[in-house]
Amino acid sequence: MADLSSLFRLDNRVALVAGAASGIGRAGALGLAQAGAITICADIDGEGAGRVAAEIRDNGGLAQAETLDILDEAAIARVVGAVRQKHGHIDVLVSTPAVNVRKPLLQYSGEEFDKVVRLNLKGTFLIAKAVAQVMSEQKSGSIILLSSIRSVTTEPGQGVYAATKTGLVQLARTFAAELGPVGVRANCIAPGVVETPLTQPIKNRSEWYSAYANKNALGRWASADEMAGPIVFLASDASSYVTGAVLFVDGGWTAIDGRFQPPV
């Protein structure tokens, strides 16, 4: 049996984190670096990615920053090619970028639909495909896509966002099915309510914020840092037999009803 203390280590592995400038992406980048990975912090916000990479280096880790729009296939090819040329391999991909337009379906415009689907689903596909090609050739690697509790439960105003997050699950499962024979794993993390820039509008409305906190079993929101452990787990040998899975990190949101405490 392998030494359990080393199963979560990522020394000498190269991890590419798309969306690393803030939120869950930043937390994941910091966590991977602490586990020993050489971390490539990529984001459309190049300055933000640079700050996270600098933070990693200031704490003794290895990191570099790249400006990357995951909807730009040429930019993806450039970044993936540069990382491969410099390091020779890419062992982990974490893709976090997403956008949401909260609006009832009957009020959705075609332009708004395209905006959400293009980034959340197409952009994730493009970066995952490019990195998966590298992993397929090296016959190893872990792909981690950020889905959501909205992949299995929705609410008014979340229809298109929820559809994309469900799509990411099936995308990851298909990568798992197609690349499993060559040693590449693909999984999803499905967070619950997490305090990130994307959810700041909810936090600004105390009644809405409290309602979400009270819905889950733990009675609170997650911090972005609480996603780092699950990301490191799926990136590491601790999850060597886990592929095609969805890891819900939601405080019990999808496990319980949560609307009423019966008098038992």
Residue ranges and CATH numbers for the domains of the chain are 4-248 (3.40.50.720)
Q: Which amino acid is at 239?
A: S
pTM (2 decimals)?
0.95
Q: Considering 108, 161, 209, 212, which one is annotated as catalytic? A: 161
From first to last of its 264 residues, the chain has per-residue pLDDT tens of 667 779 999 999 999 999 999 999 999 999 999 999 999 999 999 999 999 999 999 999 999 999 999 999 999 999 999 999 999 999 999 999 999 999 999 999 999 999 999 999 999 999 999 999 999 999 999 999 999 999 999 999 999 999 999 999 999 999 999 999 999 999 999 999 999 887 888 888 989 999 999 999 999 999 999 999 999 999 999 999 999 999 999 999 999 987 777 777
Give me the pLDDT at residue 194, please: 95
Give me the pLDDT at residue 263, please: 79
Report how far apart, in Å, the C-alpha atoms of 170 and of each of 95, 125, 180, 187 are: 15, 11, 15, 10
Assign 142 to helix, strand or coil: strand
| Angle at the Cα of 16 from the Cα atoms of 246 and 137, rounded to 5 degrees | 85
Give me the pLDDT at residue 128, please: 98
Give me the pLDDT at residue 1, please: 63
Give me the pLDDT at residue 2, please: 63
Give me the pLDDT at residue 4, please: 79
Give me the pLDDT at residue 202, please: 84
Told to judge if 161 belongs to the known catalytic residues of this protein, a careful annotator would answer: yes
Stated length of the chain:
264
Cβ atoms 30, 107 nearer than 8 A: no
